[in-house]
């Protein structure tokens, strides 16, 4: 379907519905696609696209950041994905720790470190290198694979659907439909979303995918349905990726988890199972971590990342945005990651 045609459809359907509608996307890559292609500006007046807690770096709790930075400062080698190194914590960021002499390495792919370090260190039988496992269901299987290869992991992994439930319960956030994350859904499938009685479309990341998702959400609203539709059929299957899910279940146990902005969410985090205790940084370095936690003095920060993550305010409504908080000098997580809504808004819309 051509762009003009689908935009016409969206305009007609929005006019038919009349009332204001707020659709929330739940993935940083969707936020990026929407900004990059100027999709918000193409929407009819009564459709507002809002950003949810879909950036894993952004929703990672301050305490996890402080612990991992503390471990790096304590002399333990820390390996992580590139977008996590700049997140500021009470002890500074991993990047600052690196500049001060700590061993902090970035990878695009955890197997890079498994290849170069893990096998050699296994032969020596000792390793003081920790991989910071971060992300939703899309990166969790890779971490699980790395654990199986013998890598030591500090897990900040999160499970996405429980956060959707919290958003729906928040009376300060009005949501008329979700654009569900395409690549998280590749792993977890589409059926798990059925528990949420709200129009939902699992969507891909091209401009056309997002427009089709909006069109499908409008169809659901007009017909009074609350279904889970799959727009991203070229990749996402109903049952998800069973191999990846099995690997996750074998390696991790589900725990309550603190999310930035959303607080503690029941059954929304993943920690290593006891059988992998010997590879669990939280167990191995428990004394150092206890020490780090006791010494943390939270600094006051006017950053409103927590509200941005719930779609309660837009990035530009934060007093720090674009003034003292920029991608070069981020004051909060949402400005650090290229998937963070403040970073995206700064790059494309400021």
Partner 1 sequence: MSSMKGRWRGWHGIKNNLDKKDMCLAIPGKILRIKNQLATVDFNGIQKEVNISLVDIKVGEYVMVHAGFAIDKMDDNYVDELKSYEI
Q: Which residues bind partner 1 (CB under 8 A)?
A: 2-4, 27-29, 33, 36-39, 41-42, 55-57, 81-84, 106-112, 134-135, 138-139, 141-142, 145, 183, 186-187, 205-208, 233-237, 241, 243-244, 247, 337-339
- Closest separation between CB of residue 261 and partner 1, Å? 18
- Closest separation between CB of residue 126 and partner 1, Å? 25
- Closest separation between CB of residue 158 and partner 1, Å? 13
Q: Is the CB of 57 or the CB of 270 nearer to partner 1?
A: 57
Provide the sign of the torsion angle of the four alpha carbons 248, 249, 252, 258, taken in this order: positive
- Closest separation between CB of residue 141 and partner 1, Å? 5
Q: Is the CB of 145 or the CB of 283 nearer to partner 1?
A: 145
Q: Is the CB of 65 or the CB of 134 nearer to partner 1?
A: 134
Cα separation, 203 vs 231, in Å, equals 5
Q: Is the CB of 127 or the CB of 138 nearer to partner 1?
A: 138
Q: Please list, residue by residue across 211-230, b when 16 or more beta carbons sit within 10 angstroms of its beta carbon and e when fewer do.
A: bbbbbbbbbbbeeeeebbbb
Q: Is the CB of 157 or the CB of 258 nearer to partner 1?
A: 157
- C-alpha 97: how far from chain center: 23
Q: Give the 3-state DSSP-derived string for 94-132, with helices as H, strands as E and coil as C.
A: HHHHHHCCCCEEEECCHHHHHHHHHHHHHHHCCCCEEEE
Cα separation, 31 vs 52, in Å, equals 9
Q: Give the residue among 255, 309, 252 at the shortest CA–CA distance from 279.
A: 252
Q: Is the CB of 56 or the CB of 311 nearer to partner 1?
A: 56
- Closest separation between CB of residue 12 and partner 1, Å? 17
Cα separation, 161 vs 267, in Å, equals 10
- Closest separation between CB of residue 110 and partner 1, Å? 7
């Amino acid at each position: 379907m051509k762009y003009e045609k689908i935009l016409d459809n969206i305009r007609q359907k929005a006019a038919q519905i009349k009332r204001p509608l707020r659709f929330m996307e739940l993935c940083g890559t969707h936020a990026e696609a929407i900004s990059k292609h100027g999709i918000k500006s193409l929407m009819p007046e009564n459709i507002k696209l809002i950003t949810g807690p879909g950036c894993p770096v952004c929703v990672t709790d301050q305490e996890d950041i402080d612990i991992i930075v503390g471990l790096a400062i304590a002399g333990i080698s820390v390996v992580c994905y590139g977008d996590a190194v700049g997140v500021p914590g009470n002890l500074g960021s991993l990047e600052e720790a690196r500049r001060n002499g700590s061993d902090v390495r970035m990878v695009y792919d955890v197997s890079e470190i498994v290849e170069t370090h893990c096998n050699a260190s296994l032969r020596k039988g000792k390793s003081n290198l920790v991989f910071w496992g971060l992300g939703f269901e899309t990166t969790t299987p890779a971490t699980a694979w790395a654990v199986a290869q013998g890598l030591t992991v500090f897990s900040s992994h999160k499970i996405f659907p429980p956060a959707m439930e919290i958003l729906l319960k928040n009376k300060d956030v009005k949501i008329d439909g979700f654009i569900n994350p395409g690549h998280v859904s590749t792993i977890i499938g589409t059926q798990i979303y059925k528990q949420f009685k709200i129009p939902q479309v699992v969507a891909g990341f091209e401009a056309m995918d997002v427009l089709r998702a909006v069109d499908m959400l409008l169809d659901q609203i007009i017909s009074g349905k609350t279904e889970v539709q799959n727009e991203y059929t070229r990749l996402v299957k109903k049952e998800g990726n069973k191999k990846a899910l099995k690997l996750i279940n074998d390696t991790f146990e589900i725990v309550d988890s603190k999310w930035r902005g959303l607080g503690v969410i029941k059954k929304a985090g993943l920690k290593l199972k006891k059988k992998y205790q010997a590879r669990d940084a939280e167990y191995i370095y428990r004394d150092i971590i206890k020490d780090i936690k006791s010494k943390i003095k939270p600094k006051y920060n006017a950053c409103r990342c927590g509200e941005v993550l719930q779609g309660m305010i837009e990035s530009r409504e934060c007093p720090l945005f674009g003034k003292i908080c920029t991608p070069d000098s981020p004051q909060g997580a949402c400005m650090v990651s290229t998937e963070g809504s403040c970073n995206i808004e700064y790059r494309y819309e400021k």
